[in-house]
Each structure stands twice: as C-alpha cells, then as structure tokens.
Structure 1
Amino acid sequence: MDFCLQPGVNLHIIPTKQFKLTHVLINFATPQTNTNATSRNLLANLLETSTHLYPTQTALARQLAKLYGAYVTMMVGRVGRLHTVRLKASFVNDRYSDQPLFSQVIDLINQMLFHPLVEQGEFDSPTFRLQVNNLASTIKSLYDDKQFYAHQKLCALYYQSNSVMRTPSFGQLADLPRLTPASLVNTYQQMINDDRVDIFVMGDVQPEAVRDQIGTLPFTARLQTKQSAVFYNQPLHDDILQVYERQRITQAKLNLGYQLPVYYRQPTYFPAVVFNGLFGGSPYSKLFTNVREKASLAYYASSRLSPFSGLMTVQTGIKAADHDQVVDMINQQLTAIQHGEFDQATVQEIKDAIINQQQAGKDLATNVLEHRLVEQLLGLQPVKNFADQINAVSNEQIVKVASMAKLQTTYLLSGEKR
C-alpha cells in the first residue's frame, strides 16, 4: 500500500503478521558523486548519535531503552549510481506493549532527522570531532581485512578513472580533512530537502494509522526530476589490466574482474544468477569443486555478480607461486561453461539452492525491505514467481550469459616477490 506524502516523498506500507517486531526503513537517495559519499556517511553517524533533545549518545541510548529496547540506526549504502542514507528502526509491535511504541519511535525519529545538534549553522564541534575520528577508525579497520582491501583495489582498477563507482559508499579517508561542522550542515540540508525519500513500514499495522503517524514527520516537497539512472556501464578496456602489490601477508589474494553486462531483473538476469552459481557462487560451482577441492590451488574461490554495474568478480586466497596456474584454471572453468560443459543434475542442484536461499531470505525483515527498496528505486513490481523464473533458465541461456563475460582486470596482493 503506497501513499505520496509530498512530491518526492513516498510511504510504502507492508502489513504482515509474519514478524512480531515493527520495522521502519527511511531511505534518502541521490546520485553519488566523487565527493559526497564521505560527507553523507559522517552525517549519518552524527544524526544517529545526537539530537538537540538528546545531545549525547548516552542520552539517546537511555531513551531507546525506555522504548522496550527499540533499535534505531543509520547507515549508508549504494544501489548502482545512487548513494543512500538509511535510517532503520525495529521495535515491539503495539499489540505486545502497554504503551504506544509506534508513535513514540516516530517521535524519536523526528528528533534524529529534523532536530540535529546544530547551533549557529554548525554541528556541535566536540561531537563532530568525535565522529570524524570514529569514521576514520572504521574505514581503516575495513582495510585491515586483506580480501576486502583486494576487492577495493580491483574495483579501482576496473572502473574508469572518472567513475563514481571507484569511490566506496562509505567514503574515503582522504576526504575527511576537508569536512567541517559547517560544511556538514550543507550536506544535511541537501539530504533532508532534496533527496528522494522512500519510507517503508512493515509489520502488524493499520495502514491508515501508519500514514497519519508518518505524516507527522515534516518532510517538504522536493523538485521532481526525471528518474536518475541507476545502472552503470562502461566500454571494454583495450587490454587486460594487471596489478601486483606486495605487503606483509601470508596468504596471497588473487581477484579477477570481468565485464558482464547483465542488470537486475532484465531478461538476462535470472540466467546470470544460475550461471554465477555454476561458475563460483555456490558449493556446487566449478571454482569450488575444481580449483579449490580437486586441484587444491586455492584456500577459497568464489564469484560474485554486481547486477547494478555490469561487473562480475572472482576472489581467491592462494599461494603466490601458483598465480599463473590459478588464473589459467579459473579461465578454463569459464570456457567450459561457455562450451556447455556441465551436467543437468548440477544445474538443478544450483537452482534448488538459489530458490531455497531466496525463500529463507523472506524470513528476514531486513532482506524483505532491501528488495522492496531496490524495486521502488527501479520502478519494478515484486517478483511473484521467483522459483519459476529460476527453473525456467535453460542451458542455452547459461551458455549465452557465460559468453558475455570478458576478463578485464587481475589484481594480486602477495607477501612474496614476483
């Protein structure tokens, strides 16, 4: 059930008795640029931890505790070219409490979004400095995971030099020094006044009552422009780009990037999902069974689709000395699929696993809301026959999609000299 609260501000209500908690997701979306990801992440941290009424993280936590331990958090993400700031809340349904929790949580959300700790056009300086330091520490800790580090390096290599896709949704350390308490107010004003807003409420709720409560949030109309392009694509590189980097690590990370121009819910999407499961996205895949298990050339080997950017990645942990052999064997697995060298029993096992995973995801409120958000941003209706779509994928379609994959980049992070 959908309501337009203001131009550019839409409410989507999902009545269900499946969950005992009520879930709220408020998503702010705008085209990502090379500079706005870091400031929006810092802004999310500031809004999450302090308001005028609750000026410290402790005060905010005390208020949440009074609401039967209601959970409210803010984070950033990306859907293709769109950068998102998301407020998520979950709390006990009013039917199970002795107080009107829904209205009280919405009041708290009102404080967080519309009454930030701002004085004279600047965020509170001590709080600002604290959150800058926290964000810097968080970003640094992400890169301590060497597979994460290798993936980011591969993406920087794959995407064109001017592409916003090279900038992670959580931002960059290099951007933090230029941000100030005053500049973050500008970021806040742009988000709260200009971003597309989609609000989702899911639970055992009365739609009219939800609409009235959410309607108390003082969102204003925003300029209606044509829908921003979500999908990203780029031309093929002239040559395969290869980078070797040496660090003090014991297990080498070899990652490969393929252009695979398949996009979410477009005609080739479901065949690509099955192809990925066959290539490296499942325990039945060729990378897992042949590269890891039979040849023992990798500690792990898997593939991942990025259906908003036309990219497929392979990530492995290997011995550096096996680099050339591993690259050759990975590409042999792809070639085998392109030639139709796979059996129907394995394909059906993969299809069953994909369907079971999708069904299991319906039991997680966060998964349900994430899918609904993506559908709204793309103007799509929910898939009602997912299993049928997967089971309908033919071997010929798998071969066709596999033939679209073109190796573009390889990145090796190793502790050894080459």
Structure 2
Amino acid sequence: MVRARLYPLASQVPNAQGVPVADTRILLLGNAGSEALNKILGKPGRTMTRIEDAEQFVKAAPDHDVVVLDAVPPPRTVADLCRELSALPDLVEVPILAITSTDDVEERIRLLEAGADDVMIRPIDERELDARVEALDLRHRRSKELRPSTLVAATRRPGRRLIALYSPKGGVGTTTVAVNVALAIGARMPDAVAVVDLTPMAGHVATHLDIKPKLTVGDLMRDSQGMISPEILRTTYLTKDARGIQVLAGSPGPSTAPLMSGEDATRTLEGLLTAVPNVVVDLGSHLDDRVVASLEAADDVVIVVTPDFPALKATYSFLEYLSEAGPRIAEPTIVVNEVYALQTLTPGDIENALGRRVAIRIPYDPLLYLRAANQGTPVFASAPTSQPARRYDQLAAILLGEDAPTAASESRRRGLAGIFGRS
C-alpha cells in the first residue's frame, strides 16, 4: 500500500457556507505502472492511497470519496470489479472511475453498465483527470446532502397505489423517470405495475419501452362510456412489455382536441387501479383539468425538475399555485434530473429556490441514456448496476415507503433571485 502525502492546510479551506471542506479521499487500484496517476491524484487537498491487491482494495473502498480502477490483477477484469463494488451496500454512493486502454465505445458502455460512474481512456490528460475526479467528488458530497426525507403517506385505496409524475416545464425527462420508476417497482412486484401515458402530445412511453400497442388511451376514451371491467382493461387495452410492465400507451400523434376531461382522467385511473395494483402515470408538462384530476387522485406526486433557471422558476410558480389556490394533492416528491454535464447549482441552491426538500437526484450519463433511447431499453433494465439505475431504485423505495425519513422536512426560504440574480 502506498499513501501519498497529506496536505492538512487544504482541509482548512471553507466552502461557500463557511464550513471547512475535508480532503478528498481517493483510493487507486494500481501497480508500479500507475505512478503517473498516483502523482496527479495526490495533489494538495487530497489524500491518495494506492493499493495493488484487489481484496484489500474492496475492503478499503467504503472509507473513501472516489475510487479509481487502473490495474486490476487477473483473473478479475475492470468490469468485474465494477460489478463487485456496485453490489456492496456500503459503496452505493461511492463514485467509481475506471481507466481503460481502449477507445472502443462498446467497452466504455460495458464499464458504465457494470457500475462505473465515469470512464477515462489512456493516455490520460492531467487536467481532464483532475476535472473528472473533482466532478465525482462533488457528486459524492452532494449525494450525502440529499438523503431521502420525503414522508410517505398511506395509500387511499388499500393495496393500491397511484403515482403521478408531472413537470411544469417540458423537456426535463418526466417520461424517462416515469418509465424507469415503473420498472424499479416492477422488479419488486412482478406483474403488478402499469405505466399510463396521459401526455396530450404524442406520448412516448411506448417508444421508451420499444412496444407497439394495438390500442391507446385514445381508443379507450372512444370506447368507454362508463367503467370498463378490469379483465377487459388487462386483455384489450393494456400492452405487456418484455419486462412484465403493463402499458396504456398515449395517443400516437399530436392533436388539437383535448385528450380527456378531468372526470375521464379520474374514471380511467380508478378503473386501472382495479386491474393493476400499482399505476404510474406520466402527465407531461401541460396543466389542464386532466392533470389536476390526476394529481388529486394520486397517492404520490413526483415533480421532476432540472437544475436550471427556467425549470426551477416554472416549478416554483406551480408550487405557489398549489399553495394559494390550487388543488389539494399529496405532498410532492421533488426529483432533480441532472441532464447537464456541468452542475453549477448545489442541492442547497435548488432547495432554497423551491422552498422544498429534494428527495433524490438522478445523475446523467449521455452514453447510457443515448443507448437506452435508441434501443428502447430503459437504463434501469439495460444498466441495472449503474448510478442512474440505483437512484431510480431508491426513488421507488421512497415512493413505496421502504425508505423511512431520518428527519422531518424543514421549511426553507424560497427565492430564485439570490441564486441567479433574476426573478
């Protein structure tokens, strides 16, 4: 084991809140050929430890902020060790940086699917490595700040749960979150989950799951004048995907006609709950009677937001609408979908802007999401050990009441101007 020099003065540098920031603890699995990495990673403000034995490395990993896999002793491979580390409960939040000598895209995807948070290709650029490690460390620190704190209420219908996902701003990934959460719940409860596409403009749930439904929600609205029996819903209007999720697909194309009334939405969702015990509904971003009725009927409401001013402002305005004159709905669960490579807002910034606690954040990985979109296999299914998939699993646990809060939510001062200089 080789331990790099400690720089105690770096730990005295305060962060924006005036709290001293501890040294970043980095663990490197490498050998004599990793000396260059050893020097780069051992810069001031970091505690760098190099270990050559894989077993010792796994035991030491939970005590570090970032782990780097360079030289993995055979018979293990880098991907093998990524999977092993990702499977350990103590290492769920510890980011993994994998070093590879090939620029093959499929190899990088395999490492990401195995659980690596980032992949770098040799030869290593010193500044890029430095930036990647800083980003991973920041992600790790933020993950510790965002411990789940959402109070989960009992469902209104015994043994049945309706989860509504909505965003006041389009383009934030609401459908992606809805589909992956449905799969995460389905992994716990096989054949007991349906995902419903109630977005008004050519829904994309079916596309995300790569299914071709014969009938859609539009057909259901045309055919049903009253309640439809659970058996007819299951056998006629719901399409089962390869992973066991039932889907009520959205309209195949855009239309100027309203999708459904508020009464239609309530009737449809109540009917689906008699057919399937857990229903996840994607409401999109347009606010109308359909959305209001669905939110009022839901046991859990998930609001998806991205860390940028337009999305935060839209969400802030929607939360104000709810508190002042809006419908009575369940306390929203705030999910931050980190769709940007560079994160400029801290969890505290986002929570202060919205006046609400953030339940969980979903890290973005362009390679995994691009492959998921092109192949019709969501990240939770295609890369189950990846960081995004683990976060979807945690979100499912929160919504199902498996993840008990450690403390009650605290009230926070709302305001966007202090963050962006805008209002």
Scaled by the length of structure 1, what TM-score is found? 0.21
* Greater length-normalized contact order (CA 8 Å, ≥ 6 residues apart): 1
Scaled by the length of structure 2, what TM-score is found? 0.21
